[in-house]
């Protein structure tokens, strides 16, 4: 039995005991007062009548008339006149008439009132004895009325007491429910904190649980920081802080395979020429400091992109969602050339830039960029080469053409691809469903048009159309589907309102939707992401993050919002089967995910060896080119 029920039963028992005791005492007291009143009245009437009769002549007829007159004018139940030997000389008696009072009440409260007795004198001798019983039916009515009044007042008092008790119980219930909810959240490994209630006992419990949550959260943050330090040590150059060659190559490979608004951008290569001469002229410490400053300047230009050190003298900059080569080259020269001019010796820093697109291979991109950089070296110490743009595969050449084509394609309808995400037992978790648009009479993958969707500000319209297609697919096939929500749409209140309306209209299908946003969006717009999670979880949707990696140490701050899964970026996953260092990082990430009740899913699994290795490490799910449902070819 719950504590609240016990409180209500206790309150009810107290009210019933108080009611019963008050009613018993009230009835008993009133009854005793009425009995005493009637007893006194009987005695007074008997004495008064006896005194009157003692002064009269003792003619039997006169006595009879006096008794009859007294009986008819008063409220009497019985008047009897007895001689000294006890024989009845005269008697008048009326039937008991109790109106307006239930019989059971009369039987329950039957009065016991002795008759009033007085002696009638004839001179100095006793003439007779008179007995009088007053008609006391009014006493029952009076007792019944007082009982009803007592019940009425007690009923009012009971209602007031019940309202007061409800308020007290409600005051207890709210912090108690908060304690229960917090305990459940901790049971789900969501280490939330609650405001301490005013009730001392509950406050002590809440403070203890808050301390537990804070301790666990602190421990998770420390472990995340340690894991991030390990990742940086293994993936970054110790001198400059830039990404090392091996990891940058994985980042580039992942960028070329993505199907979102970051599938196109600009890659630049910067070379510190004649590095050995710089070492001799400036000294090793000063040269290392210069390289670190160059890397910092490149990071400021790349912003959310990546900076890698490919070898001792070559740096590469990967800038997703960027198309303007001239603007990027200008930012690079503005940041780098003043830095070089401050040096005591001439520093040669040729640069080459080109666009990359999702259909290209890593070898093609690096080969062409390396050739352009070699050409820049021949043109001067600080020459900048902008590689010519291959526009053979560009569908449209103007913003207006792209906008018209995208608006029309979105209106016509979206197709969804289906890539399975399997758990560690090989069972389906959900299908990833990147969108396809029909452009120039053929279905194009997201990597072709998503950069333009983002550039033209059509993210909300696109994401709503994807949701419509997913709900239609779920209604038809009843298969769980995971959808990407673009950062721009996730921060758009109008989009969220429209999304909620669609989910409310299809409540059953909504429970089969898995929504995921990029890690960078959740970290940089944490409050907006919390709001999005709260709104969508009301419909039974599952929330997760994709492309998790660089900001993993900050994910612990989101442990309390109910994330179901994290998809670890392919740049961390690829080649894990051959790298013990990567396995250490991935194992730590999976362990931390499990400690806060979140599934760890690997993205971009390219080989069966990677698949097996990731499951051995402790990942809960996998997706990528090597992952197929049983029976698929």
In the chain, the number of structural domains is 3
- Which of 160, 177, 211 terminates a domain? The answer is 160
- Average pLDDT, stretch 214-230? 77
**Residue 145's pLDDT band (boundaries 50, 70, 90)?**
confident
280-294 pLDDT, tens digit per residue, is 888 889 999 999 999
**Do residues 93 and 142 share a domain?**
yes
Residues 12 and 34 in one domain: yes
User: Residue 1: is its pLDDT beyond 70?
Assistant: no
Q: 336 and 461 in one domain?
A: no
Q: Are residues 347 and 435 both part of a single domain?
A: no
Range of the domain at 87: 3-160
565 and 431 within one domain: yes
The residue that leads in pLDDT, 253 or 135, is: 253
| Residue 632 reports pLDDT greater than 80 | no
> Both 538 and 589 in a single domain?
yes
User: What residues are paired with 422 via a beta bridge?
Assistant: 428, 622
DSSP strand E in 215-296: where?
243-244, 265-271
Lookup: tokens for 153: 């007042």
Q: β-strands 125-134, 415-416: how paired?
A: unpaired
Q: List, for residues 511-565, the tens digit of each pLDDT value.
A: 999 999 888 888 888 888 888 888 898 899 999 999 888 788 777 677 777 789 9
The CATH number for 340's domain is 3.30.70.270
Q: So what's the pLDDT on residue 429?
A: 92
CATH of the domain at 91: 3.30.450
Do 354 and 403 lie in one domain? The reply is: no
Q: Could you count the other beta carbons within 10 Å of the beta carbon of residue 262? A: 24
Pick from 160, 175, 202: which residue ends a domain?
Answer: 160
**What CATH number corresponds to the domain at position 590?**
3.20.20.450
Residue 419 lies in a domain: yes
Considering only CA atoms, which of 335, 239, 344, 314 is closest in space to residue 284?
239
Secondary structure element (H or E) that encloses residue 84, with its range: none
Whole-angstrom distance, CA of residue 395 vs CA of residue 510: 35
Reported as a single tens digit per residue, the pLDDT across 478-511 is 899 999 888 888 888 898 999 999 999 999 999 9
Residue finishing a domain among 323, 351, 386: 386
Cβ-contact 598, 564 below 8 angstroms: yes
Cα 27 to Cα 101, 135, 148, 172, 260, distances in angstroms: 14, 20, 10, 37, 84
Q: Is the pLDDT of residue 19 over 60?
A: yes
pLDDT class of 10 with cuts at 50, 70, 90: confident
pLDDT higher than 70, residue 97: no
- List the one residue out of 472, 492, 493, 470 whose CA is nearest residue 482: 470
């Amino acid at each position: 039995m719950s504590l609240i029920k016990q409180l209500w039963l206790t309150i009810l028992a107290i009210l019933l005991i108080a009611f019963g005791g008050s009613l018993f005492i009230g009835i008993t007291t009133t009854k005793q007062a009425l009995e005493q009143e009637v007893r006194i009245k009987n005695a007074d009437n008997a004495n008064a009548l006896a005194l009157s009769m003692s002064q009269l002549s003792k003619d039997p007829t006169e006595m009879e008339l006096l008794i009859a007159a007294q009986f008819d004018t008063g409220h009497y139940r019985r008047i009897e006149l007895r001689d000294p030997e006890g024989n009845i000389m005269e008697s008048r008696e009326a039937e008991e008439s109790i109106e307006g009072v239930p019989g059971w009440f009369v039987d329950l409260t039957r009065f016991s009132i002795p008759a009033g007795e007085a002696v009638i004198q004839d001179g100095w001798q006793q003439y007779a004895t008179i007995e009088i019983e007053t008609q006391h039916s009014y006493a029952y009515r009076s007792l019944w009325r007082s009982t009803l009044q007592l019940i009425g007042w007690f009923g009012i008092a009971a209602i007031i007491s019940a309202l007061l008790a409800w308020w007290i119980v409600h005051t207890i219930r709210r912090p108690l429910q908060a304690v229960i909810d917090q305990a459940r959240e901790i049971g789900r490994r969501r280490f939330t904190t609650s405001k301490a209630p005013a009730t001392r006992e509950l406050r002590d419990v809440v403070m203890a649980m808050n301390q537990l949550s804070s301790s666990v959260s602190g421990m998770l943050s420390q472990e995340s920081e340690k894991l991030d330090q390990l990742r940086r040590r293994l993936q970054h150059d110790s001198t400059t802080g830039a990404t090392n060659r091996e990891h940058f190559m994985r980042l580039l490979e992942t960028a070329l395979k993505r199907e979102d608004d970051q599938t196109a951008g600009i890659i630049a290569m910067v070379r510190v020429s004649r590095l050995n001469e710089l070492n001799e002229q400036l000294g090793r410490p000063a040269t290392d400091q210069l390289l670190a400053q160059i890397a910092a300047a490149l990071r400021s230009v790349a912003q959310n992109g990546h900076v890698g050190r490919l070898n001792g003298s070559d740096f590469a900059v990967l800038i997703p969602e960027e198309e303007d080569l001239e603007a990027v080259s200008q930012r690079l020269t503005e940041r780098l050339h003043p830095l070089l001019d401050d040096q005591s010796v001439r520093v040669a820093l040729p640069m080459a830039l080109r666009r990359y697109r999702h259909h290209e291979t890593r070898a093609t991109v690096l080969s062409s960029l390396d050739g352009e950089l070699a050409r820049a070296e021949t043109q001067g110490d600080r020459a900048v080469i902008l590689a010519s743009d291959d526009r053979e595969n560009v569908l449209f050449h103007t913003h207006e053409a792209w906008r018209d084509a995208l608006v029309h394609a979105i209106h016509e309808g979206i197709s969804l691809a289906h890539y399975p995400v399997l758990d560690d037992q090989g069972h389906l978790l959900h299908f990833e469903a990147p969108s396809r648009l029909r452009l120039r009479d053929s279905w194009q993958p997201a990597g072709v048009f998503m950069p333009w969707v983002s550039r033209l500000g059509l993210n909300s319209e696109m994401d709503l159309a994807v949701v419509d297609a997913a709900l239609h697919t779920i209604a038809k096939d009843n298969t769980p589907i995971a959808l990407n929500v673009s950062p721009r749409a996730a921060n758009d209140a109008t989009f969220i309102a429209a999304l909620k309306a669609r989910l409310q209209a299809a409540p059953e299908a909504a429970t089969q939707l898995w929504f995921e946003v990029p890690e960078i969006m959740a970290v940089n717009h944490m409050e907006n992401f919390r709001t999005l999670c709260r709104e969508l979880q009301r419909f039974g949707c599952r929330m997760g993050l994709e492309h998790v990696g660089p900001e993993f140490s900050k994910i612990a701050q989101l442990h309390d919002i109910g994330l179901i899964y994290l998809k670890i970026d392919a740049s961390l996953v690829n080649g894990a089967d051959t790298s013990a260092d990567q396995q250490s990082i991935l194992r730590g990430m999976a362990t931390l995910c499990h400690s806060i009740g979140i599934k760890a899913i690997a993205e971009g699994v390219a080989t069966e060896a990677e698949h097996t290795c990731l499951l051995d490490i402790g990942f809960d799910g996998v997706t990528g080119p090597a992952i197929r449902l049983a029976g698929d070819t």
